[in-house]
Amino acid sequence: MDIEKYKKQFDLVFKSKIEPQIKELEEKRQQINKILYVYGLIFLACIVILYVLYRINYLDFTSGFLFCIFLFITYFVIYKKQRAYRLELKNKLLMNILSVFGRFKYVKEPIVTLADLQRFGLFADAQRKIDDDIIVGKYKDLDVAINEMNIFKYEKKNGESSKSRVFSGLLLKIKMNKDFSGTTVIRQKPMSYEQLLRNIKIVNQKNNGIIPSKLMSILTSPVVKFAFSQKEIMGQKVSFDTKGISFTDKKSGSKTIKLTQDGISMKSIYSRMDKNLEEVMLEDSDFNECFDVYSDDQVEARYLITPTFIERFKNLSTVVFVLKTYCIFDKGNIYLLLGDPITSFLDGSSNFFEFDLKPGQTLYDKEIYDKIFRDLIMIFEFIYYFKLDQKIGL
């Protein structure tokens, strides 16, 4: 993939189509932020006043309750305005960035439902799927769909309900150039310490030392290596403090693993495979060590998973830098689920395609658009990596 070519096209689009819109959108952003700030102060002041009036019996409970409802309704109206603004940003700015790669648009209907994914044998214990951005379009005459999503499961422990995230990332759906009618699923096994360290080093090298040296020294320490030797894990955010090392669910905040001087606690993040899909053992022992393959057609699975595909898929996480990968072949389509990109928590962002501004940042900062462009390069580099835009396919 000629990344420099796309980078030049992106710079041209930024100058000609994005930059002329920034002034109006930035003024609107500042106006909304001022409204939210003033409303926040008024809301807090009203709550204090209402509490004082109620305590001195100057205000009855019903009147106070109705006034609180009015405040919440007002906030809801402002919140809806903020959401409309964020959608306007994406329609005016993100679609222009996507035009570098092809013709795309937003849609409301999800690419797949949770029931579809469970039919493929994934996330059997999950109860909810939340979709964010859903984008469809054409890239080099290929039908491409991109769906940012989060999948959750709910559990009851000691009488209390808890929510845990089982997947957070992107789902890509691409119409393939091969004809097949069955279903084949590739699921990455828990990532070993050696695999994780290798991938992080590659990320660090390709991103000009993005990972702080102190963090790299912690990752190579004996305590982290020991934790992985006890039970392999993947797909969780890593954090460090004076009490220990945590691998944390980024959305729910629940600890998957915690290392302290008192020991190690862990929980599994995997769900069972669908009973209709039988395990496929391939000839490549290295591939079998890293991935589980299930299919309803053993012959077709081997037709799809060629030696060339195997070599590329083994190195996929060093191309798109993700910790959790699923691949599904189904009725002429390939679905790829890319979960927990390494770079997403290295740069502090949790969502793709969002115009998230840091304190003091404005829409004039080109780094905001560069970050989204890098996310898109990661996606389309996958298509190029597997030669999905060529008639020979995989």
230-256 pLDDT per residue, tens: 444 444 444 444 344 455 444 444 444
Measured distance CA(265)–CA(255) in Å, rounded: 9
- CA 340 distance to own-chain centroid: 6
Q: How far is CA 1 from CA 10, 317, 384, in A?
A: 15, 17, 6
Burial 93-128 (b: 16+ CB within 10 A, else e): bbbbbbebbeebeeeeebbbebeebbbbbbbeebee
**Which structure tokens are listed for 330?**
């189904």
Confirm if 195 and 290 have CB atoms less than 8 A apart: yes
- How far apart, in whole angstroms, are the C-alpha atoms of residue 379 and residue 133? 14
- Token pair of 177, please? 């150039």
**pLDDT for position 213:** 73
Task: Name the residue with tokens 């070599």.
Answer: 311
Q: Which amino acid is at 279?
A: E
pTM of the predicted structure, to 2 decimals: 0.72
- DSSP tally for the chain: helices H, then strands E: 14, 13
Exposure string of 247-256, with b = 16+ CB inside 10 Å and e = fewer, is bbbbbeeeeb
Angle between helices 222-230 and 193-206 (to 10 degrees): 130
Integer Cα distance of 336 and 152 in angstroms: 18
**Separation of CA 289 from chain center:** 25
Give the per-residue pLDDT at 379: 81
Give the pLDDT confidence score for residue 184 in this predicted structure.
Answer: 92
Per the DSSP assignment, residues forming a β-bridge with 167 are: 151
Per-residue pLDDT, 387: 64
| Residue ranges for the chain with pLDDT beneath 50 | 230-245, 248-271, 344-346, 348, 392-393
CA-CA distance, 14 to 11, in Å (whole number)?
5
384: tokens are 């190029």
Instruction: Classify residue 364 by its DSSP letter.
Output: T
Closest CA to 137 of 102, 88, 181: 102
At residue 26, the pLDDT reads 93
Say what the pLDDT of residue 261 is. Answer: 39
Residue 164 contacts by C-beta under 8 Å, 6 or more apart in sequence? 152, 153, 154, 155, 249, 252, 254
Q: Which amino acid is residue 221, in one-letter code?
A: S
